[in-house]
Chains A and B, each alone.
Chain A
């Protein structure tokens, strides 16, 4: 794909073209047949490999239902049957998302998936887990019902004890709602995309050697 078009000589200026260099770098690191593979090593046969895919699928449903809820406003689902249904869809998608993310995490742990240069993929996965917890936490605080009231009153002590209560004020609905519908979902989505790109770039890790080799 980097070959010059017929009849066009590649000039020295082209070799200094930033766009070309970025494209070549992407082609080299993550060619399309790695991003969307149609073949995989024969040892990839366990259901454990599906947990990550289900987590991503659940995230899509979480974002879809969340976009509908945020578009209609925070009061809507309390007074509308359709709104309540979309809130339920959001609620249960989040439950599925966390269940399979935790299963994915444990599965990858027992596969020691950080081996062979994949430590950064593992670390980003743990960061996704932490940011997702924060996102869900702000969601529970944004429900505008009794549960969110009591979570806020209790959680303020933990935040204040850690010294961050004034900057992350769980009693401030506007701040929690803004974080929940905007900044944190963008953070989770960005990190998940990054995580997927890293997985697809390197491919899945090989099984742990019989001899016990556990290279980093």
Chain B
């Protein structure tokens, strides 16, 4: 359309008095009053974070099972793929679209070593038994390691807890009982929280290792289930307590609840296994379509067909006023 001035654009249209600044001030005061009152009455959510210590104290069997899984390479982070490691066929792909693979391993995480072995080496400085157990583990064949972790993981299913310590039935677990008892002790004392944050520098704001480790366990997951924060519970829209979450993400969250993104088989290569990738691609396209509505036939015509505009501009469509 030709660039016209407002005077030209509104020529022939009656103008009425208006006070923009007054409207802004009233809106500012009104919104402020509403927010202040709601804040005073309802406050805001702040469920304390889970620490490695609280996890190990509250659910020591889950903690030890997760740590054993890290050594066995069976946890989510151990076999995650890019950007943490190069586990084959672990990354989400959709046909030739594989951005997770394209960008490679950028945040290397060797979970068994980072979450279990390295922290234990720090504790072994003054602990000969642990030092010997670590030496046995590190010099053992992968076959022996697999045999020990399999047997120990199975035994943990019937483990008992007494005084915060985990006890399993007698068996051939190699050095694992000594290693896991030490790791559990470190975790329950809070030492492991600090050790996982050590990066060779004093200041630290990156919680990637600790969060990956906690995410591998079942404890944090169970709490999230209680607060309905899982993806299949419309999690992004929820918050802890009775507070609203990111409700504006309803469309993004909705796709996780419907076919093909909630189905293991899916269709056209899209399924629950690559739902994250599929939904990100879909939402990117939908956002672009929303931005480009003015250029897309049908989408740009709907407002003309749906008479909501007749309610908004009631005065204009009233013959008496229009003829003025």
Show the binding face of A for B, using Cβ within 8 Å: 34, 36-46, 48, 50, 53-54, 56-58, 60-61, 77-78, 84-85, 87-93, 95-96, 98, 102, 107, 109-112, 114-117, 119, 122-123, 126-127, 130, 133, 136-137, 140, 143-154, 157-158, 160-167, 169, 171-175, 177, 202-203, 206-208, 210, 212, 214-216
Contacts and interface: CB of A to CB of B under 8 A. Distances in A.
Contacts of B92: 160-161
Interface in B113-158: none
A107 B246 CA distance: 21
B231 interface: yes
A147 B45 contact: yes
Contacts of B212: 153, 171
Contacts of A175: 205-206
B24 A57 contact: yes
B191 interface: no
Interface stretch (B31-39, B59-67, B168-176, B179-187): B31-39
A59 to B, nearest CB: 9
Given A110-B312, A214-B304, A127 B246 contact: no
B317 A207 contact: yes
Interface residues of B, number: 102
Contacts of A149: 49-50, 211, 214, 220
Contact of B205 (A110, A116, A177): A177
Given A61-B32, A150-B220, A173 B46 contact: no
Interface of B: 1, 3, 6, 9-10, 13-21, 23-24, 27-28, 30-32, 34-36, 38-40, 42-50, 80, 82-83, 91-92, 99-100, 102-103, 106-107, 205-208, 211-212, 214-215, 220, 223-224, 227, 229-231, 235-236, 239-240, 243-249, 274, 276-277, 279-281, 287, 290-295, 300-301, 303-304, 306, 308-309, 311-317, 321, 324
A50 B27 contact: yes
B10 to A, nearest CB: 6
A7 B178 CA distance: 97
B9 A206 contact: yes
B13 A42 contact: yes
Given A98-B248, A149-B214, A41 B14 contact: yes
Given A40-B18, A153-B211, A207 B316 contact: yes
A158 B279 contact: yes
A192 to B, nearest CB: 13
A43 B9 CA distance: 14
